[in-house]
Amino acid sequence: MKKILVISAVFAAAFLIVSCGGSTQNKSEATENGDKPDSDEQDSDADDSAECKSGEFKCADSESLYCNSFGSWVFDARCENGCDPATGKCKTDSNDNDIAADTENDSDFENNDTSDSGDDNDFDNSDAADSGNDSDFESSDNDHEIPDDSGCTNGKYKCIDWASWVCNDSHWNFKETCEYGCDSATGKCKSSECIDGKYECRTDYYSKGHSYYCDNGLWEHDLSCENGCDSATGKCKDMCYEIDNKTWSYSRSSMTWEAAKEFCDNMVNCGYSDWHLPTISELRTLIQNCPATETGGECGVTDQCLSYHQCSYIQNDDNSIISLCIGCSDSDSYYSGKYSKFGDNDWFWSSSFQDDTDSIQAWGVYFAMGTITSFGTNEYTLESVRCVR
């Protein structure tokens, strides 16, 4: 019996030695073949995932890279003054001429990146291979044609349409698209800061400029500037026009009658301050190509005849009414500006009131048809105005 127990113990010990040796051999073979144990592989995977966390920045030569929401390093900005390894972002100089992209727009960059997330690696590789042509990359990315390098002095800015460009290494580099217009005096994008009563100029490719004003914390379009916009005041440069021995101002839309009268009474334009809201006879002189409502036409509404019943229509014996002031219209000319000497199509106020109605009605002209009609002067009626002197 003791012999049986001893033999059993010997066999059990031999089995354990063989098993352990096999495990040790497998580990040794894995090491010789360059493979790591499972625990080491998990540590390596953790290191890889920690290498790029969304929102991180790092420096790569003279560039700042940004980790997007997919865990990929993407180009952020070219650093004119070097990259700060502590933050991974571009350094700034004392003149605040930093070329660093605005990090507040990173979310927009990520949104653009998500539409092409499958190509992140290609994006990184092409960017690395072409790092010497950052200006080309930025220009094509923003669909802006690269200007020639004339007048390029390092650190100088200039405006091209709605974009700001900066000179770096004697080449013009795209800086940013200007949401609120580009200031030609500085070459930089204008501030979006909106202070009630403030005016500012904005330019685009198709016009000589626009004037905007701040009202209740929001930027509102004021005027399209036919003679350009004065950057010092933010308002349109003087605009006045001589027609039939009268001087007319630019037009303004969406005003109540009270606001229109005040606007003209307070206008200073072309060196004059004696502007007023035109009478109906004065406003009629701007109608053309519609004989019935032009000055001297069948429509009897004038400064001397302001009655709706007596001056604007004829009543026949059968009580039918023939309107004399309805104006003109056909499918080809409606809303074409044909009936206005200024090419206007809107409803315009006059200072003349109907004298035979219970409600307060002011006469005016609807230039899209050359119509002479009247509007209520309450706070809900908004029409256009053109001042005269």
Q: What digits encode the pLDDT tens for the residues 306-318?
A: 999 899 998 888 8
Is residue 142 assigned to a domain? no
Choose between 30 and 201: higher pLDDT. Answer: 201
Is residue 358 assigned to a domain? yes
User: What pLDDT was estimated at residue 305?
Assistant: 95
Residue 120: which pLDDT band, with cuts at 50, 70 and 90? very low
User: What pLDDT was estimated at residue 145?
Assistant: 66
Is residue 148 assigned to a domain? no
The domain boundary, picked from 39, 67, 93, lies at 93
Q: How many domains does the chain have?
A: 2
Cα–Cα dist 166/360, whole Å: 58
pLDDT tens digits for 157-182?
A: 888 877 888 898 888 888 888 877 77
Is residue 61 assigned to a domain? yes
The domain boundary, picked from 93, 123, 140, lies at 93
pLDDT tens digits for 71-112?
A: 677 677 777 788 888 888 888 754 444 433 344 444 444 444
Is residue 315 assigned to a domain? yes
Is residue 203 assigned to a domain? no
User: What pLDDT was estimated at residue 24?
Assistant: 40
Cα–Cα dist 349/305, whole Å: 17
Of all residues in the chain, what percent carry a pLDDT higher than 90?
28
User: What pLDDT was estimated at residue 289?
Assistant: 94
Choose between 49 and 260: higher pLDDT. Answer: 260
pLDDT, the chain, mean: 75
Residue 61: which pLDDT band, with cuts at 50, 70 and 90? confident
Is residue 254 assigned to a domain? no
344 phi and psi, to 5 degrees? -75, 155
Is residue 65 assigned to a domain? yes
User: What pLDDT was estimated at residue 1?
Assistant: 44
The domain boundary, picked from 69, 93, 117, lies at 93
Residue 43: which pLDDT band, with cuts at 50, 70 and 90? very low
The whole domain housing 82 covers 55-93
pLDDT tens digits for 194-250?
A: 788 888 887 765 566 888 888 887 778 888 887 888 888 888 888 899 998 999 998
pTM of the model: 0.50
User: What pLDDT was estimated at residue 215?
Assistant: 85
